[in-house]
Amino acid sequence: MQRVVIVGAGRLGMVIGSGIKRGVPDVELHFVDATPEGRERARERLRAEAAAAYEPAPGDLTLLTLPPQAFPGFAAGQDPHAVAGVTVVSLMAGVRLGALTGGLRSRQVIRGMTNIAAQVGKAVTVLAPDPAVTTQGVALADKILAGVGSVVKVADEDALDAASAVVGGGTALVAYFADALAEFAMAAGFSSAQACTIALGLLTGTAELVERLNATPADVYKPVLTPGGTTAEGFALLQETRWQDMLRAALEKSAERSREIGGEVDGLLKN
């Protein structure tokens, strides 16, 4: 049975673990966490084996869900000969392939980014493998992470900073937008439960419409903008306030923070 080891039993690690338990049940799931609380959380919530230190086994798929600044300490405790026999997928924001391969002294490393929708099998995961990763290693990562949602592979790891913004933080942005819809509905007199039904129905209905029509989001909203109509009137205000520009700027700020974190981790590794 394939062994999957999640290093870090914080929020992201637990979300990924629950998604794997649901979507890829035929794996042997293990956790590694330095804190007793983290290990207990993994055992109680997911009934997974949990240890304080990572002992690599040949053929492991190892997912790093540590805080980025904790990576240098983790890497320093690893035996490079043992790590070379496993495929490592980093889901840590900002940590670049050079830092990952240099810290672990192995090139069987994939840099990735995912989101909390993994818990319900609807995550989007972006992967950028080191060129030296074996085809078997890439296929294994693809198979396991496809169990928690869709997988996109890219050759240029620079895309991962953008992925940290739009994929990693995208669920929060979409939920923030949905919250605004619900708040408007409640202000108009709908109950909290009714407003939530409206907002969530709009999200899921729009997504399914785009998918079933094999369309783009623009293909869905543009035909609704009837000149002189109610929707067009609201959109005119959004365009005046350059709402899309502000959203792009917010995403770029997130991507820039990812790049900054990468520099911070590089500095820690050099010390």
SS (H, E, C) 55-98: CCCCCCEEEECCCHHHHHHHHHCCCHHHHCCCEEEECCCCCCHH
Query: Residue 266 burial (CB < 10 Å; 0-12/13-18/19+)?
Result: middle
Looking at the DSSP bridge assignments, the partners of residue 4 are: 29, 61
Average pLDDT, the chain: 95
In a domain, residue 39? The reply is: yes
Phi then psi for residue 213, to 5 deg, are -80, -5
In a domain, residue 65? The reply is: yes
For the beta carbon of residue 152, count every other beta carbon within 10 angstroms. Answer: 14
Cα–Cα distances in angstroms (integers) from residue 184 to residues 169, 199, 244, in the given order: 23, 10, 20
Give mean pLDDT, residues 259-267: 96
Same domain for 97 and 27? yes
Domain that includes residue 239, residue range? 170-253
CATH number assigned to the domain comprising residue 69: 3.40.50.720
Same domain for 66 and 129? yes
Give mean pLDDT, residues 179-183: 97
Q: What is the pTM of this model?
A: 0.93
How confident is the model at residue 81, as a pLDDT?
86
In a domain, residue 76? The reply is: yes
Same domain for 100 and 228? no
- Single residue among 121, 154, 187 that ends a domain in this structure: 154
For the beta carbon of residue 156, count every other beta carbon within 10 angstroms. Answer: 7
Alpha helices in the chain (DSSP H): 11-23, 36-46, 71-76, 80-83, 97-104, 135-146, 159-163, 170-187, 192-212, 217-221, 230-240, 243-270
Q: How far apart are CA 74 and CA 186, in angstroms?
A: 48
Same domain for 110 and 8? yes
Q: Can you tell me whether residue 158 is helix, strand or coil?
A: coil
Query: Residue 267 burial (CB < 10 Å; 0-12/13-18/19+)?
Result: exposed
In a domain, residue 271? The reply is: no
Q: Which residue has the tokens 């109610």?
A: 230
Same domain for 95 and 71? yes
Same domain for 41 and 174? no
Same domain for 6 and 125? yes
Indicate if the pLDDT at residue 82 is higher than 90.
no
In a domain, residue 161? The reply is: no
Same domain for 227 and 123? no
HSE-CB of 138 using CA atoms within 13 angstroms: 15
Same domain for 129 and 195? no
Cα–Cα distances in angstroms (integers) from residue 29 to residues 20, 22, 62, 109, in the given order: 8, 12, 10, 19
Cα–Cα distances in angstroms (integers) from residue 136 to residues 79, 129, 141, 264, in the given order: 22, 12, 9, 32
How confident is the model at residue 61, as a pLDDT?
98
The CA-based diameter of the chain, rounded to the nearest angstrom, is: 68
Same domain for 18 and 58? yes
Banded pLDDT at 247 (limits 50, 70, 90)? very high
In a domain, residue 212? The reply is: yes
CATH number assigned to the domain comprising residue 236: 1.10.3730.10
Give mean pLDDT, residues 213-228: 93
Indicate if the pLDDT at residue 109 is higher than 90.
yes
In a domain, residue 263? The reply is: no
Indicate if the pLDDT at residue 271 is higher than 90.
no
Banded pLDDT at 80 (limits 50, 70, 90)? confident
- Single residue among 104, 120, 154 that ends a domain in this structure: 154
Summarize pLDDT for 189-212 with one digit per residue, the tens.
999 999 999 999 999 999 999 999
Q: How far apart are CA 32 and CA 66, in angstroms?
A: 10
Q: What percent of the chain has pLDDT over 70?
A: 100
In a domain, residue 266? The reply is: no
Count of domains observed in the chain = 2
Stated as kind and residue range, the H or E segment containing 190 is none
Q: What percent of the chain has pLDDT over 90?
A: 97
